Amino acid sequence: KAGVTQTPRYLIKTRGQQVTLSCSPISGHRSVSWYQQTPGQGLQFLFEYFSETQRNKGNFPGRFSGRQFSNSRSEMNVSTLELGDSALYLCASSLAVGLSGDTQYFGPGTRLTVL
Amino acid sequence: AQTVTQSQPEMSVQEAETVTLSCTYDTSENNYYLFWYKQPPSRQMILVIRQEAYKQQNATENRFSVNFQKAAKSFSLKISDSQLGDTAMYFCAFMKTDNAGNMLTFGGGTRLMVKP
């Protein structure tokens, strides 16, 4: 079975621009979560999508948004980019058999650099 | 809110030896899950081991085992017969089981270097 895939793998943007990152979960997985990883803040939860609905949201400004499609693929969008948004963005998928407690499997990440 | 603390920012071990990585967490929940993930230089986050809090038996996966002390809120990872490929960042993570979805809270990580 193919793993979680993320595109693009690398991205360079300038301040003020917006960006869209894509994540395709493992086949059959229905939940997709997004995390931001930076040297200063570590790994922080952004949001989780299940059945095309946002089920959880972390403590990030409204510039960060996401969505999930009927095939479970997910996108996250960051508008009005700031230098501090430079990070590795990780996507993780899980089966979502239960309401919580599912093991998450991670993609390779998208490295975003904001200049 | 839950917090996860990894008190060892960096560790090193000789190949074939055993090393233990520490993790403590703070929660008022009674049921939850704990995980160890490994992130090698490739940045791919890989699941190492998972522990359900309601299980008293410590989880094991080949050379990896945990020492789960629920009362002490401690969840350490033991790596036996260390191999060069074990060189990576190791993250301890916590997940609630409150039927509100899957959200991992991560510790700050421990950088492990396995030396030949």
- Report the relative pairing of strands B64-69 and A31-38 from DSSP bridges: unpaired
Residues of B with Cβ-Cβ distance to A49 under 8 angstroms = none
Query: Given an 8 Å threshold on Cβ–Cβ distance, is A100 in contact with B99?
Result: yes
User: What's the residue count for chain B?
Assistant: 116
pLDDT in tens, A61-74: 999 999 999 999 99
CB pairs A-B closer than 8 Å: 73
Token pair 């410590």 in the structure block, residue: B58
Instruction: Return the closest-CA partner of residue A65 out of A31, A100, A18, A27.
Output: A18
pLDDT in tens, B74-108: 999 999 999 999 999 999 999 987 766 788 999 99
Contact B12, B79 (CB under 8 A): no
Residues ≥6 apart with Cβ < 8 Å to A16: A80, A81
The residue type at B84:
L
Q: Is B9 on the interface with A (CB under 8 A)?
A: no
Query: Given an 8 Å threshold on Cβ–Cβ distance, is B104 in contact with A45?
Result: yes
Instruction: Return the closest-CA partner of residue B92 out of B27, B11, B25.
Output: B25
Q: Please report, in tens digits, the pLDDT of each residue of chain A (115 residues total).
A: 789 999 999 999 999 999 999 999 999 999 999 999 999 999 999 999 998 999 889 999 999 999 999 999 999 999 999 999 999 999 999 987 666 678 899 999 999 999 9
